[in-house]
């Protein structure tokens, strides 16, 4: 049988998570404040998460959780037993309106998924245990720490398409980092940048309406 005749090229909506579906703290000061942990190495500034090299290493599955937490505790200046709380302080809440958007997409029988640079504790909360119900309800989920690849590497987009048997041109992708959007587009995905400081569900709804998906 001709493989072209069996390929499912119906649209698939793939979301990044933090900054697209869920509000997150983008700085260690914000994460520490959310966790209620005092950190001696943090002041009133805005220390980006990736200022700690081990953060990206951990999300890429390159180092263990204990090694990462030791590095984090030293970096922010907290007790080692407080480091996990600081790390989990990055997660805040699903954006208002996300639940309605995902529900409508599923009611229209459109497939969904996510592709996220994340890590084991956050993946557990976001995708597995139901704390973030809209994310939990997505169909095809992939995370950087599970495959040892990270956005914007082309390999992770290709791995996603292959793992779920998708035509890259069928994938509609939303991400709040332009470099990730550019890489996805280079892999044939319909990729759109989302401004995390604005109404993210409204931005996605407008693009999906433009495409005739909803």
pLDDT at 44: 81
| Sign of the torsion angle spanned by Cα atoms 144, 160, 17, 136 | negative
Element (DSSP H or E) covering residue 141: strand 140-143
CB environment 178-191: b (16+ within 10 A), e (fewer)? eebbebbeebebbb
CA–CA separation, 162 and 179 (whole Å): 22
The burial class, CB within 10 Å (0-12 / 13-18 / 19+), for 51 is exposed
What is the pTM for the complete model shown? 0.93
pLDDT at 90: 98
pLDDT at 3: 42
CA–CA separation, 32 and 35 (whole Å): 5
Q: Report, as ranges of residue numbers, the positions in the chain whose pLDDT lies below 70.
A: 1-8
Strand 111-116 versus strand 12-15 pairing type: parallel
| Superfamily grouping for domain 3-24+93-211 | HAD superfamily/HAD-like (3.40.50.1000)
Q: Give the neighbor-by-neighbor strand order of the sheet with 111-116.
A: 140-143, 111-116, 12-15, 171-175, 190-193
CB 138 within 8 A of CB 102: yes
Please give the backbone phi and psi of residue 192, each rounded to the nearest 5 degrees, phi first: -135, 130
Domain ranges across the chain? 3-24+93-211, 28-88
How many beta carbons lie within 10 A of that of residue 155, not counting itself?
Answer: 14
pLDDT at 9: 79
Q: Which two tokens stand for residue 57?
A: 């290493």
Q: Which two tokens stand for residue 176?
A: 């709040």
């Amino acid at each position: 049988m001709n493989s072209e005749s069996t390929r499912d090229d119906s649209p698939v909506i793939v979301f990044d998570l933090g900054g697209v579906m869920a509000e997150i703290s983008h700085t260690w000061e914000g994460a520490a404040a959310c966790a209620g942990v005092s950190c001696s190495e943090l002041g009133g500034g805005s220390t980006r998460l990736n200022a700690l090299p081990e953060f990206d290493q951990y999300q890429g599955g390159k180092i263990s959780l204990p090694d990462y937490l030791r590095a984090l505790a030293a970096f922010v200046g907290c007790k080692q037993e407080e480091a996990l709380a600081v790390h989990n302080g990055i997660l805040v809440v699903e954006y208002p309106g996300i639940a309605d958007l995902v529900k409508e997409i599923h009611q229209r029988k459109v497939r969904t998924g996510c592709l996220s640079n994340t890590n084991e504790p956050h993946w557990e909360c976001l995708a597995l245990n139901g704390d973030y119900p809209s994310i939990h309800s997505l169909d095809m989920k992939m995370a950087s720490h599970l495959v040892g690849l990270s956005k914007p590497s082309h390999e992770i987009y290709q791995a996603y398409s292959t793992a779920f048997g998708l035509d890259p041109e069928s994938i509609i992708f939303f991400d709040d980092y332009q470099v990730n959007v550019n890489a996805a587009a280079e892999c044939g995905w319909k990729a759109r940048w989302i401004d995390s400081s604005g109404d993210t569900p409204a931005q996605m709804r407008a693009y999906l309406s433009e495409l005739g998906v909803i």
